[in-house]
Amino acid sequence: MFVELNSILNTSPDDVTQREFILLSDRKADASFLIHHYLSFYLKAGCKVCFVGLVQSLSHYSAVAQRLGVNLVQAREKGQLVFVEALKASAAVMLDQTGGDVAQMSDYLRSPVPELRALFEFVRASLSQAEAEADSNSPPVLIVDDLSVLLSLGVSVRAVLDFTHYCQATICSQLQGSVVTLVRCDDDDDDDEDESSSHLLRALSHQCTLSLRVEGLRTGYCRDIHDQVEIWWRGTGENVQSQRKIFQYKVYDKSVSFFAPGTSSAVL
């Protein structure tokens, strides 16, 4: 959890905004630090978190979380965290060795026309359960790292969008929780390609309430300023005004510092 980002977003673990659909994205940069931020943020806030780790192993996430002051293993034992080890399961599923829960959930790996329905059912089951037992102050949260991997596995953009729609409808609207997803773009923005991650990003931009978009610096590579992030509060209907702000940032060992463009300590 990065305190500086919290103050920019005007939020804190004691005051969690409900029903948020947060879209993290990057292009020519790496936005995974934001995933770690939200994972530790919601765990510190006491929310029940379902984390779908499609990219890294559990030990990676827990090593980083430890630096940010959160113990994933403990959270998992307490039942606060449901960690879907999708990456680890992939080999077993692919080579036909496990039956049961995991295999069914990961059926997108094997089906010729993959759908994410089983994954959604799992997420819903794990978070609805939480709703029944936990107190109402801690909304359930789904974090997916990251959706664009699914496209590489042959899942269509349409299927991913169906999945996110159901997640939003169930978690944000019904359970008053939040959804955080990451989309990593590896193609050109102006691509008129239906199956590109840019297309997925555009579609999710319509859905989201808050978008954090990480981009490489236009001026090229720099050692002291890693990249820039555009924060976009999308005025969704009710009260928030649409507003965009750009910050530059630098990632440190345990934190990230954000500053207005051109005001890096290396420059001033």
Q: Closer CB to another protein, residue 135 or residue 179?
A: 179
What's the closest the beta carbon of residue 34 comes to another protein, in angstroms?
Answer: 10
Out of 102, 104, 134, 166, point to the residue binding another protein (CB under 8 A).
166
Size of the site for another protein (CB under 8 A): 82
Q: Closer CB to another protein, residue 12 or residue 56?
A: 56
CB 229 within 8 A of CB 258: yes
CA 225 to chain centre: 23
Binding mask 129-158 for another protein (x = CB under 8 A): -------------------xx-xxxx---x
Binding mask 31-70 for another protein (x = CB under 8 A): -xx--x-------------------xxxxx--xx-xxx--
> Which tokens hold the place of 177?
């929780």
Question: Per rule CB under 8 A, is residue 246 in the interface with another protein?
Answer: no
CA distance 205 to 214: 14
CA distance 203 to 162: 11
CA distance 49 to 59: 17
Helix (H) or strand (E) holding 125: helix 117-133
Q: For the chain, what is the radius of gyration of the CA atoms?
A: 18
What's the closest the beta carbon of residue 63 comes to another protein, in angstroms?
Answer: 4
> Which tokens hold the place of 198?
């840019």
CA distances from 115 to 25, 33, 36, 91, 152 (A): 23, 28, 27, 19, 14
Out of 4, 107, 131, 162, point to the residue binding another protein (CB under 8 A).
162
What's the closest the beta carbon of residue 245 comes to another protein, in angstroms?
Answer: 13
Q: Closer CB to another protein, residue 89 or residue 134?
A: 89
CA distance 209 to 241: 11
Q: Closer CB to another protein, residue 135 or residue 253?
A: 253
How many residues in the chain? 268
Q: Which stretch binds another protein (CB under 8 A): 3-11, 132-140, 163-171, 260-268?
A: 163-171
Q: Closer CB to another protein, residue 7 or residue 174?
A: 174
Q: Closer CB to another protein, residue 73 or residue 134?
A: 73
What's the closest the beta carbon of residue 100 comes to another protein, in angstroms?
Answer: 18
Binding mask 99-118 for another protein (x = CB under 8 A): ----------xx-x----x-
What's the closest the beta carbon of residue 163 comes to another protein, in angstroms?
Answer: 10
Question: Per rule CB under 8 A, is residue 13 in the interface with another protein?
Answer: no
CA distance 29 to 226: 8
DSSP one-letter code for 93: H
> Which tokens hold the place of 90?
């992939």
What's the closest the beta carbon of residue 235 comes to another protein, in angstroms?
Answer: 8
CA distance 123 to 120: 5
